[in-house]
Amino acid sequence: MMPSPTRNPVTASEPDPSRRNNLALLTSLVHHNGVLSRAQLTKRTGLNRSTVGALIGQLVNLEVVYETAPSGEAQVGRPSPIVHPRPSIAALAVNPEIDAVTIGLVGLGGKVQKKIRFDTERIPTAKEAVNIAAAVIEGMRSELDTSYRSWAWASQCPGSSTAATAWSGTPRIWAGAMNP
């Protein structure tokens, strides 16, 4: 008899890879499409209704999305709850340009909450761009800490990709998460 492979126990805070991928898929759909019904999410993902219901329940508990009752429009079948992106989840995007560094605050659902452009007299070096972004973000810190439960950041860095920046699957994108 062969010994069974060692398995790491999966806790509620660390879902298995399949569940994590499905949570990411649903979050991405809500981010890119805004408000969707559970029925629309079921149709777009190909997952069954009970799986979508359980995953949305987990996203609600994590305060990533929230649900409202359906509008009551004439439809066939049972009304499906409406899933909304939670406005307290956002990402900071940093874009170094040839004459500026632009920092944008984008909410889950794709709405640009704030955009700050810091003009420069010449093309900023990578170090200058990082320092400018850090200073602008530090200036936004109290707003971020009071208005957003969780936020992440991403930066597009012009130039060639390296092993350090290509890990995200998209060359020249460096991203991280910050949960104040």
Q: What is the pLDDT of residues 78-98, one digit of tens each?
A: 789 999 999 888 888 899 999
Q: Which residue has the tokens 């062969």?
A: 2
Class of domain 89-178: alpha beta
Domain with CATH 3.30.420 in the chain: 89-178
Using an 8 Å Cβ cutoff, are 92 and 103 in contact? yes
Distance of CA 19 to the CA centre of its chain: 16
Domain with CATH 1.10.10.10 in the chain: 17-85
What is the SS3 assignment for 14? coil
Percent of the chain with pLDDT over 70: 72
For residues 154 and 172, give the distance between their C-alpha atoms in angstroms, rounded to a whole number: 10
Residue 90: CB atoms within 10 Å:
26
Tell me: the pLDDT tens digits for 135-178?
A: 999 998 888 888 887 666 666 665 544 444 433 333 333 344 44
Strand partners, 91: 106, 152
pTM, 2 dp: 0.69
Tell me which fold the domain 17-85 belongs to.
Answer: Arc Repressor Mutant, subunit A (1.10.10)
